[in-house]
Structure 1
Amino acid sequence: MSDADWISFEEARGRVLAAVSPLGTERVALPDALGRALGRRVSALVAHPPWDNSAMDGFAVRSDDVQGASPERPVVLPISDDIPAGAFPRGPLEPGSAARVMTGAPVPADATGVVRVEHTDGGPGRSVRIFDDADAARHIRLLGEDVEAGDTLVDRGEEVGPAALALLATAGLREVEVGRRPRVAVLANGDELADLDEFEEVLASRRILNSNSYALAAQLAASGAEPVSLGIARDDPADLRRCLERAGDCDGIVSAAGVSVGEHDYVKQVLDELGFDRSFWRLRMRPGSATVFGTLGGRPFWGVPGNPASALVTFETLVRPAVRKMAGFARPCRRPIACVAARDVRGPRDVVSFLRVLVETTRSGDLVARPSGPQGSGNLVSMLADGLLELPLGTDVVRAGERALVIPLREWASPPG
């Protein structure tokens, strides 16, 4: 473990993704599938909509019968049918008549459009006065215009969001097959760390709070994994070994700190003793260069730096994509979005840099990125960011007004004002 590899970020991420595979699937109740990766493709059993239906409350008409209607010269038509939602027409639309129809209700055959009720007098009696012919060929949703029977509703590996959940419901599914959530252990390292029940040590300036465990566990949960806390391993190889052994039934391990070259950084030593198969240690990335990755007992192991910002950025760029792949998501990496730099941003040319930024949407629709605060690896407040602006290898500056790619961490801010 003594010799650094110094591979590129792209190669490191490629090795990480190549080392993991989807963990298989399980069946869950439809509401519990929200946020999970769909385990198999689901096709439509019936067309949607299942019949030609009205997109408006109004009156189904034939276009020839309402041509030229205006407030000055309204067209008066007898009402030949009344079709509330849940009912069906008595038959085709009779020439020279209108059928009252509610949103979602089937429209009678031979109707060409639905005149919205606002363009009529509401049809208070047995006839309706129509004041506008603009809807004569509009507001009918055709059978199967959304989905035909046999069409793919949601594909394997897609995230089940609210819309996907609704589509799965249209297939009549009470249960769905989804990717199994990876169980990933989280370990913090260091004698200097105190947990929440030892906060008096922090107040007395004798220790620092173990924030990494909480942040990494939250990142795992948000990525679709089940975090498993291993607590804090003290700077003692035997204690570290005991902590790692508690991860026996987990699918992976994320360990914070202890992976650098300090005299008391024992993680690499203990990993070697346990048969760790190293893929890389150190890469050309900032923050997060002192990252180690490999497999321990056939499971992925990430050793991320202990500085809070470094730990969180390393997770987002090198851990999250793999966790998403393990959970069955077809697109494990977040798609970068082009933004305009609000001011010059700089970084060393010999690494890829990820700068924490806030993103604002201007009134003209442009996305403008600016640093969210000091970019030191220990500056946790700056992680309250909208995204990570990538400064590629070989680039030391993005000038104000130039475009740069930003990996989103959350939704963009609204336009100012």
Structure 2
Amino acid sequence: MRIKRVLILSGGLGWLLASQLSIALCPDLGSFYQRLGAADEAVSRDLSTLLDECYSNSEYFALLGAVQLNMDDLFSALENLERSLLLDPNNGSAAMDYAEILYRQGQVTSALEMNELLAARDDLPEGLYQVIRQRARRWSRSAVSLSAGFGIAAGYDNNLNSAPLGEQLTLTLSGRPVSLEVSPEFRANSGEYSSALGGFTRSREGVKFRSRVSGSFRGRFGNSAKYEMLQGSALYTLSETSENPRWNTFFGLDHLNFGRNSIFSSSTLKAVYRLAGLNNCSVYAAIAAQYQHFHKQVSLSGIESSAGSELDCRLPESPVLQRFGVALSALKNGATRSDRLGEDRAGWRLNLAAQRPLGRGRLQMQFTHTKLDDETGYSSIFSDGAKRQESLNSVYVRYLLPLSRLGRSAQLSASVYYNSQRSTIELFRTRGTSAEIGINWGI
């Protein structure tokens, strides 16, 4: 067996031995190596009788751990190999087998890290370096995971076309207010719809870095093609390998098609850095920049930048809230063309999110408030050239319930979304509510 070969190659070297006192007390263990793999249970029993004499001998615990690893007793093997490395951190055979156990337990990143440390040493037998390189290649493949999912749903929206609230629009013409009827085509239209969504994620765990590539789409279909919607997103994430990484970077692409016409595309770059940890909470600094392109009205395009702080708390044992977060950021939306009405815009955004257990499922809640004001007057025909000042509030509530009878990853999803936009200009005042219920698998 491979483990037997590793121990035979490394047996008798100085880095396997503990202190001179341990050698004097513990008998020679050389005879046990020849029995590895052929009589592991007998070797384990015989070694157990030497515990008192070899209690301070690193080689003894490395050998006992190797035998237990051969017997697939990973828990006992891990304990004895840890003891061996505590007595002698340079014990190469113990480190080799310890990395093997980490890999078998699914701790691929930790196993690769220890394997990398072994590869950097110059005191191991030549035969071991080839073994180290081979398993580094094999384990690296296990560090890559791929998942995919899809879902279907049905819903109702009372403002499918995000139309303004009023049936009349007041314009300022020749210095006088004039009220015009809004065509029924441009008023809020309500109706049922069906939707489909899907996505994939490819993750890779490295010794130092963790990366993830994901893509998703969502389609909304109804009685009229004018209100059909298709959204597509792609996201690349890079962070340090850690349960609670200090930094994360994101690059994303988004596209919106409405009424079978391309409406909006964006590209986003974001960086987050952890400033402090408070018990189960972390405080982050965040900066982001997003290029926004409006296909039908290019003059509306711009670059939106933000800077702010985020708080993320994870409380998995709490019966009230499992997780909640707060994000506050300052916004600046710069025009990319000189003919954009209102020119640059500035404001701020507040985002609150929470998740709690509810029955056999979990409840997710999110509230967002965004405030943006134009730098100059929007247009002389609206409110006599007043500056556009807008505030958008949105609330999203979603309940997820496992449906194991339909598959391991199946979930019932029920959600409600509400948004309300206030503005000094009537054209931009809008409100809408939608409700949706469906089933998804792995997404």
When normalised by structure 2's length, the TM-score is 0.21
Which structure has the greater CA radius of gyration?
2
Where is the strand percentage greater, Structure 1 or Structure 2?
2
Structure with higher helix content: 2
Q: Greater relative contact order (Cα 8 A, min sep 6): structure 1 or 2?
A: 1
